[in-house]
Amino acid sequence: MAEQPQLIIRNSVRHDVSLRASISIGAQDGGVVRFSAASGDRDGWVDVDVIDFSSGGFGMMSGVFIPRKTVLAIRIFGLDANAPPIITCPVRVQRVCMTDRRPAYLIGTSLENPPPESIAQIDRVLAALSGVEPLCVTPGA
C-alpha cells in the first residue's frame, strides 16, 4: 500500500448545541439562489436551528434546501428571544443531507472570510462552550 488516500482531519472541536438562527442568501449568490414563497422567508431570512458549533463553521437543521457552495449570511441568537444576534457572519454550504421526509436538511457550513468582529463573537461563544468563561446573552458584553 504505497499510496494512502488523503484523509480529511478536522482541525477544530465540535460542540453540540441548540441555538436559534436565521439565514439569508449572500449577495454574490442572490441572483442564482432564492427562497421560494413557501420557505417561510421573512424579509429575506429563513429560520434554522444551529446544532453543531466549531471555529471552522456551523451545522444546522433547515426545512429549506440550500445548494452546496451557496454563500449565506447567518445570524445566531442567544437565549434571550428579544436580544440581537450574538453572532453574525458569512458561511459557505459544504454539505447538504436530507434527514427525513418532513423534509428536513442537515446543512454543514464553513466560515467564509469572516470579518474580525465575527471572529471575536465566535471566540466568545467557543470560550463559553469550553467552560472558560460564561456566555453573555447580550452582544459585546
- pTM equals 0.80
CATH 2.40.10.220 corresponds to the domain 15-129: yes
Compare 95 and 15 and report the one with higher pLDDT.
Answer: 95
* φ, ψ dihedrals at 90, nearest 5°: -85, 145
**What is the tens place of the pLDDT at every residue in 110-121?**
999 999 999 999
Predicted local distance difference test score (pLDDT) of residue 89: 95
- Each domain of the chain, given as residue ranges in start order, spans 15-129
Predicted local distance difference test score (pLDDT) of residue 90: 95
The pLDDT > 90 percentage for the chain reads 52
Q: SS3 letters for the chain?
A: CCCCCCCCCCCCCCEEEEEEEEEEECHHHCCCCCCCHHHCCECCEEEEEEEEEECCEEEEEECCCCCCCCEEEEEECCCCCCCCCCEEEEEEEEEEEEEECCCEEEEEEEECCCCHHHHHHHHHHHHHHCCCCCCCCCCCC
The model's confidence at residue 11, banded by pLDDT at 50, 70 and 90, is: low
The model's confidence at residue 105, banded by pLDDT at 50, 70 and 90, is: very high
- Which residue, among 97, 101, 32, has the nearest Cα to 59 in the 3D structure? 97
Q: What is the distance between the alpha carbons of residues 83 and 94, in angstroms, rounded to a whole number?
A: 29
Predicted local distance difference test score (pLDDT) of residue 1: 43
